[in-house]
Structure 1
Amino acid sequence: MNMARVIALLFLLTSATGCGMYKGSSEVEGSAGVPSSSATSFSSDEAFFNARVKPNIPFCRTCHVPGGVADVDKGRLFMLSGNPAEDYAKFKSSWTALGKGVETNRILTKPSGQDPEPHSGGSPWLPTSQQYKDVKILLTCWNSPAECAALLANVGGGVIQETFPLLGNPGKHFFVNTLCDGKPDSTPINWRANDPRFLLTQDAGLIDSEEYAVHFNDPFEECRTEALFANQKRQNELRVAKGQKAIYGAKDYAKTCGEFRERVRKGGDWVSMTPTDTKPDGSHASGNFNNRNNSWKDWGLSERPDNFDEQWVERFGGALAPDPVFNKKGELIAGVYNPYPMPGEEEFLGKPYTVPNDGKFHVPGPGTFIKNFGGTGRLQLGTAQAKNVDGSFNGGSGGTCFGCHAGRIGQGEVTGRDGLGNQTKDRFGKNPYGGFMGLPNTNMDTAGSADLGPIAVGALGATRGTFNADIPVEIMVGIRDFDSLDAHKVLVIPNHSSFGDQRPPSWWWLHNKTRYLWFGGHSTDSSRGNMYFGSINGLSGDELKENEGVYFEDVHDWTLSTEAPDYPQGYCSGADGSAKPGDKTGCIDRKLAESGAILFHEKNLWAGDGNSDIPRPKGNGSCASCHGAYSPRYANDKRFLPDPRLVGMTGYTVPLEIINTDSAQTEGWIAPFRTHISTFWWAYPDAVEGYVAPEEKNLLQEIVDDYALTDGLTGENIADYINRNLNNMGLLQPVGNLVSTILSGVLGPVPSIPLGQIAGRKKGACSFEEKTIGYHTPPLHGVWANSPYFHNGSVPTIWEVLKPSDRRPIWRRQRTTTDVAFNGFEWRLDRGYDFKDIGWKAEALNCGDTPPGVPMILCAIDTDLRPELTWLTDLVQGELSWLTYTGTIVPGGDSGREDRMIFNTNKYAKKNRGHEWTKVLTDEERRAVIEYLKTL
């Protein structure tokens, strides 16, 4: 890869059409382009150059040097060197090579967006900017020497300071962590003044604004309103008056660093070591570990292996919990104690116990004194042992959030954090097992539970590492009353297409975006929306609501405080930023990453005609327009953001017509359904004025008003739902278009019947995204660790994200080679990670590579399915109804486990299409962008 070529393209491609549809100022706070107002005189054009132009030259030097991105034929007409002492001479010789002149010279037309050829570096010097004005003065001096003395005699402004750096990622840090690190517990926290998400509320003025290069269309909604606390106070009073327990305890934002740290501690402990169906009093009494303790007999083994728990993780996915550390009193002081009883240990549960030194395999080790003994078996993150009211272990079992939200990466070299900083780093990769809380578990085999009980169905995930998470949520929500949460009504779920499988979003993104779920979902202020799986259980409605104040909000604060891990290979150590012998494989080439930063933020991908077939998103047409601005240079550039606190923030739900990634999940949440579920308890209807509480209704009212499904059931929405199933039909598309036209004409005028309004249902303060059917753009902090990519995990590397033509239709992640009964996906970086293309290593497969062929789909070797057949199979597998996909039988046993390791993008909800506008990048530019993404 020739870095020089990537940077000349930047000069060539950094011009004309970089402005896009936004209208922005080019001022940069506290940096170049904003000189002081006092007048200054200069003795020569070179003195003026050194004071007023040269401070901006490092930006140009990022690309316009030999070996840089702009080292291509036309780009070489403007060429600098690596020696700043040569800047004046090189700048002037480039001006000459480009034909001299002033405002017609490409030194000005390219970076100002006035050149007919696109410029990869965008438009950093708009005609209104100080940079443009200063270069214009310089070029006038060169072009008309007689005018120069007068021009330089009384130039406004003084010496310009250096600009902010191109590299750096301050936005990944949660503002409370930054505020509280090293500060006393009494330090106050002002959320509404300092949390950047509050700059993105509907009333703040940025939503749907076209003033800036970075676009936001999906607002942050505040759930913890004054109305919430007033309504819950009233509800508690009504309950107490009836002789019932007060259960409502929603919390406002933590007021001090000490309060926040305590919430983070409680939330992190609960989410890692407590089943989600634990009652408010801490008790849980379901399940046991008999099946687990005997499962080795089904693995073809003659006896239970010493490394049984490690083999369990290989087989089913997940990660072992970090090693627990106990003090002399037998109390846990570090790590995670996530035990289960081995055969014969049940009688010691919940009691003080010293692990015997009997030579047998024990975890924790022999001689360890434990005050509350839970057994010497070691559970993976995702399962936890139940406890009694007093906190003692009782041998019951249950699932935790980490079945999906804790992954495995590396062997201790990858490190993140939560709000407790170094105290809990072992929970975020800094352990020999690579367990990382908040990292998506892309190795989970949820359907593998078929080995331990009933036959698994499609709701459990047809591919290892993905999970049809929305269906069990919807079914349980459909059984429960929308307001009281009691399970006393007949299940009624409107028909819609299946959501299909997804991979979880990273929890460390939560504080960097406005909406939680892939399709928009709830606001990231919603602890209820974050804890849906805490509601999928047998607890009563009262117990679930009480858990909000007891557990949910502490867990939510913990998730907000988690931060992405740094790229573990670090920067290369060469003087020119490149790799030297001894550097880690895949270290970051600083110069190339700087080129990538410019391309990422500035290059308008719609500048030419290469993307004329794709509707253009709002913003400046760059990666940053959807994914946000990360570089300190651009975060402080008024063209990109109005406030640098928005660095690294996203709030853009991109319409499906633009993003065009697999549509199953977002289209499954049909518009009429979104309107209705925006009134249920999880959407915070009690956080708005006028809310009618369950305590104020009789049972019949409480049941009947849940069936007011018609508010969003307009003819237009029904036609939209049907028409979305009439796309990608291949040769049948003309028929689909005709049917779509007829349906739109017939159904379009049909109004909705506002039964919900009549019944008094209130739209919640933190409702579902309703205006856009699409996908919420994720932030890119820690993107290197988020493989595989897209919401359905269909693309294994960033290279393939950026180069759609290289995407593999059928692939399988690299597996481990350890001596175990079944090998799962490789998690060790030195063996399984691709540091060049960024992502987990994977092999391409053909349909005939594994007998009896790739599972559950018909396809020919080396031949893609015809679009007509793909459309038809999708229609049958899930587009007609969520029931057809949920009812799909997933094979059990090792044969089924092998099948689920293969990702077949021909299948329903597994498509790897979309996000194809990066097809206009050159390979050199892709390498530069990838190098930059490593820094985030």
Structure 2
Amino acid sequence: MKKFLFLITASSVLILSACGGSSSNPATQPPPLTDGGNNGGGSNGGGSNGGVDSGSNPASQELLVSRRGGHYWHDYCENKPDSTPVPADPREMVVPGINENKAVLMNAWWQTCQDDNQPANCGELRQREEHGLALVAAEGRPGAASFFSGDASESSYSFPADAYAEMWKSVWGLSERPAQYDELVAQRWGMPLSTVRNPYPLPGEDPNANNGGSGQLPMGITQLRKADGTWTGRLNVTCSICHGGAVGLADEAEGMGPMYGTNSLSDITVMFSELARLAPQQAALAIISQNKVRGTGNITNFQLFGVLTLADYETIPSYLTIQGEPSTGTEDPPVWWNVGSRTAKFYDGGQVVDSKRIELSFHFPDFFNDIEAAKQWVLDNQQDGDAWISSLKSPVWPASALGEVDTNLAEAGAVLFHAKDLWAPSLNNPVARPEGGNGSCASCHGAYSPRYVNDSTYLDSPLLEGIAAYITPIDIINTDPARLNGNSQRVAEYSRNNWFAYSDGPFNDDGVSLCGDWADESLRGDRDLGYLAPPLYGVWATAPYFHNGSVPDIESVLNPAARPAIWRRRSIDAPADLAGKVVMGFDYSLKTGYDAEKIGWRYDTVECGSGLPIPLIGVVTPGIDCNPLDPNGASLQDALSVLWGNGGLAWNLINVPIATNQQIEERKIYNTKLYSQGNSGHEFTSVLTDAERRAIIEYLKTL
């Protein structure tokens, strides 16, 4: 009976939404932007056609269509000859004045940072993409790049394959090598085994006698090769330690399994801590990028730039002055398949998306020996790396594993997503309203359904489909401010002299690089600081949510009251004979690990004070990070927050060495009371009814 009533309610939403503004008469004008609405009709036209001819092209009125991210160029060139000229990048239209008085807001402007962005034709685009795959995905391909080594076949940061092959003994302390050793490494570090052949030689093997060796590496590790393809037997890490993950198992549905451009699985601190025991130089990253909880990182972009360019010795004094600025803390690596639909990088829109140098910063080669050669390597390869990253597509909702999408409910959700005014007068939304837009989800996240993409009251051009270019003021979005605080004006001023922040221009009238830090008052002008609303292609596959990964599912994003304070994502069970002896990773099976109703990974709540009571600074357990006697009372983490909030590198440097499996297990706990890990924000969606949330969730499955 309860389910029956819900379906009636959801159907009513669809009917009301369709009646609220849809018209078969192309001359019908939408209501003005200031109109309210509480039924999906919304302000700025709601479901109206806005002058689009609904009769001559029915496809232009469809609701459930998704281009699945990527970049317009790759879609355009599909099945076209190599000689086909490549059109202009639609994102270049996002300049001041774009979409003025439209339903979709934009304030993160495009800026061109290098003059060789556009390939001449589709053949050149494909060549760039092919080289970028080898360069960035690596996995033993000729031309693979690796940690601080460019695409060189020799690296002082590499480590021998035989040492990697024997971590079961030297690091884990087991008495014999497990039969499933390669899979156990992937589980322990949270990076799946590659789906392509990514080999390494076992002890005693000649890698060139059996095509690289009989072992299989996880996707975040590659074996170095010489230009002629010769294997070296030396290994190094790649970008996929943070940007390679998995959604579902390969045999659960088509397109599932390990995939590039998303990761909520890895524990890079554990990985580097253990690799440092094989090769001490692998600990170099500890000073710039660590994490306190599995599945996240500490990608402090402008502080990172400073470390990478310390070989420009004249910048050292100014770099030291920013170490009193706050740490940006915990961050969830953003997905790559949405790069082609963005105009700005990083969660705070800290740089324009065309500032591509940073995309290869992890591979910045031998910069202390020859920093000018290192810079040139980035310039020579940045377009190819970006072409591949921008080509990636989001996975399709796996109906065979998670159930078919309810089309009627999803269509109702599409109307609500694009047209419901969350600030309609009758809703009494307590959150301040953004200036402009129609008050819908699409107002910040962009338009996706052809009905709205082709509506001139939503977008200036249909080519802006799915492009999200709105930085929501922090007073409105209200998510954890640590990332913003860490990218302070002092940091912005320091970055003006940094090569990764384009200290070589182009410049504005104040002499500040237009491709630099857009938190800089000289660049952003009167735009408020805030967080960039991301494009939502493949959003169903990107849990957990918010920039810090503090919310486990979309149900909790839309319903703030449902968010857990301390939670742990579920893990895979260890093999019976190894239970208690090895660490397993998060369960990314769709059948056992995924919640198709809430859209997110299954988790268990953790009670305050139930963690491992190790009273040492930096150990993240509920026992020290909340007050078991008073959930609202002071705790040790409050004292630590003062330190982390006043020292950019303190978050990374103040850590107890990881020595036990139990410590690694405790790192799976996400505590929203910890510095930078708050789960506040997005409260304006609390005005949605249960039926409306269900409809929007169903729609998001289709993107």
TM-score range, shorter chain: 0.7 to 0.9
Q: Who is 1:197 aligned against?
A: 91
3-state SS of the aligned residue for 1:547? helix
For residue 507 of structure 1, what is the amino acid of its counterpart? Answer: W
1:3 maps to which of 7, 13, 30: 7
**Of the two structures, which has the highest relative contact order with CA contacts closer than 8 Å and spacing of 6 or more?**
2
Q: By how many angstroms is 1:9 displaced?
A: 4.8
Q: Secondary structure at the match of 2:607?
A: coil
Q: 1:384 aligns with which of 215, 222, 225?
A: 222
Asked whether 1:272 is paired with 2:272, we answer no
Identify the range of structure 1 (825-834 vs 285-294) with the bigger mean alpha-carbon deviation: 285-294
Q: Which residue of 2 aligns with 1:746?
A: none
Count of aligned positions = 661
CA–CA separation in structure 2 for the residues paired with 1:598 and 1:126: 8
**Contact 1:219/1:514 (CA < 8 Å) preserved in 2?**
yes
Q: After superposition, give the CA deviation of every residue in 1:915-934 in whole Å (9 maximum; x if it has no partner).
A: 11111111111000000000
Maintained 8 Å contact 2:113/2:355: yes
Query: In structure 2, what is the Cα distance between the partners aligned to 1:391 and 1:856?
Result: 52
Alpha-carbon distance between aligned partners in 1 of 2:201 and 2:15, rounded to the nearest angstrom: 65
Equivalent residue, structure 2, for 1:614: 431
Which of 270, 277, 291 pairs up with 1:447? 270
Q: Which one of 513, 530, 546 corresponds to residue 359 of structure 2?
A: 530
Change (3 A) 1:256 1:612: same
Residues 125 and 131 in structure 1, CA contact (< 8 A), matched pair in contact too? no
Residue aligned with 1:213, SS = coil
Per-residue CA distance 1:112-149 (angstroms, 9 max, x = gap) = 899886333324759998899xxxxxxxxxxxxxxxxx
Aligned to 1:552: 382
CA distance in structure 2 between the partners assigned to 1:265 and 1:637 by the alignment: 36
Whether 1:902 aligns to 2:669 is: yes
Residue of 840, 843, 846 corresponding to 2:607:
846
Task: Please list the CA deviations of residues 581-621 of structure 1 after superposition, one character each: whole Å capped at 9, or x if unmatched.
Answer: xxx54320000000000111111111146554311123111
AA matched with 1:200: V
- CA drift at 1:552: 2.5
CA shift digits 1:218-257 (9 cap, x unpaired): 10111123xxxxxxxxxxxxxxxxxxxxxxxxx4421111
Are the structure 2 counterparts of residues 265 and 158 from structure 1 closer, same or farther at C-alpha, using a change threshold of 3 Å? closer
- State the SS of the aligned residue for 1:464: coil
- Compute the displacement of 1:388 (Å): 3.6
Amino acid at match of 2:605: A
Q: Does 1:921 align with 2:688?
A: yes
- State how far apart, in whole Å, the 2-side matches of 1:783 and 1:127 are: 23
CA distance in 1, matches of 2:542, 2:676: 19
| Structure 1 pair 385–158 and aligned structure 2 pair: CA distance change class (3 A) | closer
The correspondence of residues 411-426 of structure 1 with structure 2, limited to 5 A, is 411-412=249-250
- Aligned residue for 1:832? 593
Q: Contact conserved, 2:225 with 2:231, CA < 8 A, in 1?
A: yes
Report SS of the residue matched to 1:411: coil
Question: Equivalent of 2:200, from 312, 327, 340?
Answer: 340
Which residue number corresponds to residue 472 of structure 2?
Answer: 654
> Distance in 1 between the 2:426 and 2:637 partners?
29
- Whole-angstrom distance in 2 between the partners of 1:592 and 1:213: 23
Alpha-carbon shift at residue 309 of structure 1 (Å): 0.7
Residue type of the alignment partner of 1:4: I
1:312 is paired with a residue whose SS is helix
Contact kept? 2:299, 2:331, Cα under 8 Å = yes
Aligned-residue offset at 1:678: 4.0
C-alpha distance 874-211 of structure 1, shift in aligned 2 (>3 A)? farther
**What amino acid sits opposite 2:201 in the alignment?**
P
- TM-score w.r.t. the length of structure 1 is 0.65
- What SS class does the counterpart of residue 343 from structure 2 fall into? coil
- CA shift, 1:449, in A, is 3.0
* Equivalent-residue separation in structure 2 for 1:527 and 1:196 (angstroms): 17
Aligned ranges 1:753-902 → 2 under 5 Å? 762-765=512-515, 767-770=517-520, 771=524, 772-819=528-575, 820=578, 821-852=582-613, 854-855=621-622, 857-861=624-628, 864-866=631-633, 872-873=638-639, 875-892=641-658, 893-902=660-669
Cα pair 2:328 2:484 within 8 Å, conserved: yes
Instruction: Please state how far the C-alpha of 1:392 moved relative to its aligned partner.
Output: 2.3
TM-score, with structure 2 as normaliser: 0.85
Relative to 1, partners in 2 of residues 1:611 and 1:509: Cα closer, same or farther, differing over 3 Å?
farther
1:414, distance to aligned residue in structure 2 (A): 8.1
Conserved? CA contact 1:221–1:766, under 8 Å:
no
Map of 2:72 onto structure 1: 175
Structure 1 partner of 2:165? 293
For residues 305-340 of structure 1, what are the alpha-carbon distances to aligned partners after superposition, in whole Å with 9 as ceiling and x for unaligned? 22111000111110111133xxxxxxxxxxxxx222
- Name 2:422's counterpart in structure 1: 605
CA gap 1:849/1:391 in 2 versus in 1, 3 angstroms = same
Change (3 A) 1:774 1:280: same
- Cross-structure match for 2:300: 470
Note if 1:406 corresponds to 2:244. yes
Aligned to 1:504: 333
> Take 2:474 and 2:590, find their aligned partners in 1: how far apart are those partners?
34
For residues 158 and 672 of structure 1, what CA distance do their matches in structure 2 show?
Answer: 52
The structure-2 alpha-carbon separation of the partners of 1:252 and 1:921, relative to structure 1 and needing over 3 Å to count, comes to closer
The residue identity in structure 2 corresponding to 1:824 is: G
* Pair 1:262 & 2:80 matched: no
User: How far apart, in 2, do the equivalents of 1:313 and 1:656 lie?
Assistant: 37
Paired letter, 2:110: F
Alignment of 1:644-683 (within 5 A): 644-683=462-501
Gap regions ≥5 residues in structure 2:
139-143, 278-282, 615-620
Match of 1:214 in 2: 104
User: How far is the alpha carbon of 1:286 from its aligned partner?
Assistant: 3.7
1:457, 1:887 within 8 Å by CA — same for their partners in 2?
yes
Go from structure 1 to structure 2 and tell me whether the alpha carbon gap of 1:269 and 1:844 turns closer, same or farther (over 3 Å shift): same
Whether the 8 Å CA contact 2:105–2:444 is kept in 1: the answer is yes
**Cα pair 1:462 1:890 within 8 Å, conserved:** no
Partner of 1:309: 182
Task: Please state how far the C-alpha of 1:384 moved relative to its aligned partner.
Answer: 1.5
Structure 1: 5+ residue stretches without partners: 17-25, 36-51, 53-107, 133-156, 226-250, 325-337, 356-369, 416-428, 571-583, 691-755
Structure 2 counterpart of 1:121: 41
Per-residue deviation at 1:673? 2.1
Going from structure 1 to structure 2, the CA distance change for 1:4 and 1:169 (only over 3 Å counts) comes to same
CA distance, structure 1, for counterparts of residue 453 and residue 586 of structure 2: 38
Task: Indicate how the Cα distance of structure 1 residues 127 and 557 shifts in structure 2: closer, same or farther if over 3 A, else same.
Answer: closer
SS in structure 2 at match of 1:686: coil
CA contact (8 A) 2:255 2:396 kept: no
What's the counterpart of residue 436 of structure 1? 259
Identity of aligned residues (%): 33
Contact 2:609 2:626 survives alignment (8 Å): no
Other structure's SS at 1:592 match: helix
Question: What is the distance in 2 between the residues matched to 1:188 and 1:464?
Answer: 44
Q: Name 2:141's counterpart in structure 1.
A: none
Query: What residue identity is the alignment partner of 1:655?
Result: P
Q: Distance in 2 between matches of 1:794 and 1:458?
A: 22
Kindly provide the amino acid, as one letter, of the partner of residue 814 in structure 1: R
